Amino acid sequence: MAVKTLKINDIYVAVEEGLTILKAAQEAGIYIPTLCHLEGVSDIGACRMCMVEVEGINKLLPACVTEVAEEMVVRTNTAKLKEYRRMNMELLFAEGNHVCSVCVVNGNCELQNLAVEVGMEHCRFSYRFPDKPVDISHPQFGIDHNRCILCTRCVRVCDEVEGAHVWDIAHRGEECKIISGLNQPWGEVDACTSCGKCVNACPTGSIFHKSTPVAVMKRDRGSLEFLSTAREKKQWTR
């Protein structure tokens, strides 16, 4: 097995060939913020929160989908990256309708936590207040497109773990949205097994348990990690 040696934040790291910078950093105990990344499913670099600087390359690279290379020099926490992440976060907030105080996951939200972490005290961009729908036609779950950041965790977990592929992405640009089935109401999609993996995967309050009041919803991320470990390592206990 080939090993690649690289430097992340001036620390030498040796990892298997083919791993991503994100994995390499995690193995070395170096933290890189992520949002669309979810253990157990493929990475697509949608959220741009894990961007890093690589010496010799004139642009920022997403750590979750960039493979390590020999003698690569990576920086994960420069002033430029901090500013970039904060701005990226502000753009995520500006393009949706994220009202934390009345959100079902207020206090238990990855987007909210990361906004605090990157120091987003306010949004420097004008909120766009898009007119987006809420679909609660499913008997157990609902999706609020106002809170969706298009990370596609739901798309990937449904496709790659559950194998149902209920979710997909439709349209482009500002019209871009997550759809169920062939853009049908969720409750009418026969392919949905009501397993709830998308609910547990969603990093915001977008996909939620129906009948959840404000600020009381918690997700069971452990169930996804359990499935991932079970599949990859054949360990069947939580």
Partner 1 sequence: MSDKILIEPVSRIGGHGKISIYLDDRGEVENAHFHVSEYRGFEKFCEGRPMWEMAGITARICGICPVSHLIASSKTVEKIQAVTIPPAAKKLRRLINAAQIVQSHSLAFFHLCSPDFLLGWDYDPEKRNIFGLMEAEPELARGGIRLRQFGQKIIEFLGDRKIHSRGIVPGGMEFPLTEEMRTWIRDRLPESFTTIKKNLDIFKEVLDKYPEETNVFGNFPSLFMGLVDDDGAWEHYEGKIRVTDSDGNIVADNLSEDNYQDFIGEAVEKGTYLKFPYYKPWGYPEGNYRVGPLARLNICSRMNATEADRELLEYRDRAGRVATSSFYFNYARLIEILASLEKIEQLLDDPEITSTRIRATAGINQLEGMGVSEAPRGTLFHHYKVDENGLIQKVNLIIATGQNNISMNKTVAQIAKHYIHGKQIPEDILNRVEAGIRSFDPCLGCTTHAVGQMPLHIELVGFDGQILDEVWRN
Choice from 133, 165, 170, 188 touching partner 1 (CB under 8 A)? 133
How many whole angstroms separate alpha carbon 174 and alpha carbon 230?
Answer: 38
Cα–Cα distance, 36 to 17 (Å, whole number) = 23
Distance of alpha carbon 83 from alpha carbon 149, whole angstroms = 20
Task: Closer to partner 1 by CB, 93 or 141: give it.
Answer: 141
Question: With CB under 8 A as the contact rule, which of the stretches 19-27, 78-86, 87-95, 135-143 interacts with partner 1?
Answer: 135-143
| Cα→Cα distances 78→54, 60, 68, Å | 11, 11, 19
CB of 41 to partner 1, least distance (A): 27
DSSP state of 145: G
Q: Is 215 in the site for partner 1 (CB under 8 A)?
A: yes
203 near partner 1, judged by CB under 8 A: no
If one asks whether residue 214 binds partner 1 (CB under 8 A), the answer comes out as yes
Point out which span in 31-39, 72-80, 98-106, 229-237 binds partner 1 (CB under 8 A): 98-106
Binding-residue total with partner 1 (CB under 8 A): 18
Amino acid at site 47: C
Amino acid at 139: P
Residue 184 is a binding residue for partner 1 (CB under 8 A): no
124 touches partner 1 (CB under 8 A): no
Quick check: 142 binds partner 1 (CB under 8 A)?
yes
Please give the backbone phi and psi of residue 4, each rounded to the nearest 5 degrees, phi first: -110, 140
Q: With the C-alpha atoms ordered 156, 160, 166, 171, is the resulting torsion angle positive or negative?
A: positive
Q: Which residues bind partner 1 (CB under 8 A)?
A: 101-102, 104, 133-134, 136-137, 139, 142, 144, 187, 210-216
